[in-house]
Amino acid sequence: MKKNITYIFILVFSSILFSCNDDFLEKAPLDELTDANFWESELQVKNAANGCYWALIGKDMMINISEGLSDNALWYTLSGWRQVGSGLYGSDFSTLDSRYKDAYKQMRRCNYFLANYKRAEGIVDSKKLEQYAGEVRFLRAFIYYYLTCFWGDVPFITEPLPPGDDRLFAARTSRAEIVDFILEELDAAAKTLPRYIEPGTTSFGRISGAAAKAMESRVALQNDRWSVAKAACEAVMPGGEYAYHGLYTTGRPNQDYFDLFTFEGRASRKASNKEAILSYVYNFDLPSPTRHNLSRELQVPDQIIRFNPTKSMIDSYLCTDGLPIEKSKLYKGNGTYTPAYSAYDSVFVNRDPRLKQSIVYPGYDKWYGKVDGRGIANAAEDASKTNIFRSPKFNNDGKGAVTYTGYYIRKYCEPSKVPLYNQDDNDIIFIRYGEILLNYAEAMFNLGSLDQDVIDKTINKLRDRVGMKRMILTELQSNGLDLKTELQRERRVELFMEGHRWYDLMRWKQGYELGVDKSETPERQEKGVMKGIRKDYAYDPAVFSTTTKFDDKGFLIFDDSRVFSSPKNYLFSLPYRQMELNPNLKPNNPGWE
pLDDT digits (tens, 9 = 90+) for 464-490: 999 999 999 999 999 999 999 999 999
Give the separation between CA 38 and CA 505, rounded to whole angstroms: 45
Mean pLDDT confidence for 342-359? 96
Query: Options 1.10.3720.10, 1.25.40.390, 3.40.50.880, 1.20.1730.10; which CATH number does 1-180 get?
Result: 1.25.40.390
CATH topology of domain 194-278+432-490: 1.25.40
For residue 431, list its beta bridge partners: 278
What number is the average pLDDT over the span 370-376? 85
In this predicted model, what pLDDT tens digit does every residue of 213-263 receive, in sequence order?
999 999 999 999 999 999 999 999 999 999 999 999 999 999 999 999 999
Inter-residue contact 570 to 593 (CB < 8 Å) = no
Least confident of 124-138, 157-171, 276-290, 548-562: 276-290
Give the pLDDT mean for 122-131.
98
Residue 250's identity, in one-letter code, is T
Instruction: Compute the mean pLDDT over every residue in the chain, rounded to the nearest whole number.
Output: 92
Report pLDDT for 384: 61
pLDDT band at residue 381, thresholds of 50, 70 and 90? low
Q: Is a pLDDT exceeding 50 seen at residue 305?
A: yes
- Beta partners for residue 402, in sequence order: 304
CA distance 395 to 516: 29
What is the rounded average pLDDT of the residues 147-160?
98
Whether residue 31 is predicted with pLDDT greater than 60 in this model: the reply is no
Phi, psi (rounded to 5 degrees) for 483: -60, -45
**Distance between CA atoms of residues 259 and 222, nearest Å:** 28
Give the up-direction half-sphere exposure of residue 349: CA atoms within 13 A in the CB hemisphere: 13
Alpha carbon distances (Å) from 50 to 27, 47, 233, 310, 324:
10, 5, 27, 37, 46
Whole-number pLDDT of residue 533: 97
Instruction: Examine the pLDDT at 563 and tell me if it is beyond 70.
Output: yes
pLDDT per position as a tens digit, 403-413: 999 999 999 99
Residue 550 bridge partners (DSSP): 556
Which amino acid makes up residue 228? V
In 64-222, DSSP assigns E strands to 73-75
Reply yes or no on whether the pLDDT at 19 is more than 60. no
Overall pTM surpassing 0.85 (yes/no): yes
Question: What pLDDT shows up at residue 382?
Answer: 63
| pLDDT 10s digits, 53-99 | 999 988 999 999 999 999 999 999 999 999 999 999 999 999 999 99
What ranges do the domains of the chain cover? 1-180, 194-278+432-490, 282-426
Same topology between domain 1-180 and domain 194-278+432-490: yes
Share of the chain above pLDDT 90, in %: 86
Please tell me the predicted confidence (pLDDT) of residue 7. 34
Is the Cβ–Cβ distance between 280 and 428 less than 8 Å?
A: yes
User: Given pLDDT bands bounded at 50, 70 and 90, which one contains residue 3?
Assistant: very low
**pLDDT attached to residue 188:** 99
* pLDDT value of position 335: 83
Q: In 300-362, where do the E strands start and end?
A: 307-309
| 102, 22 Cβ separation under 8 angstroms | no
Distance separating alpha carbons of residues 130 and 210, to the nearest angstrom: 16
What's the pLDDT tens digit per position in 430-472? 999 999 999 999 999 999 999 999 999 999 999 999 999 999 9
Can you give the pLDDT at residue 11? 42
- CA 230 to CA 444: how far, in whole Å? 7
Confidence class for position 18, pLDDT limits 50, 70, 90: very low
| 3-class SS of residue 431 | strand
DSSP 69-80: TSSSEEESSS-H
**Residue 354 pLDDT more than 60?**
yes
- From CA 237, how far away is CA 244, in angstroms rounded? 8
Residue 33 has pLDDT above 70, yes or no: no
Q: pLDDT class for 374, splitting at 50, 70, 90?
A: confident
Q: What is the pLDDT of residues 510-523, one digit of tens each?
A: 999 999 999 999 99
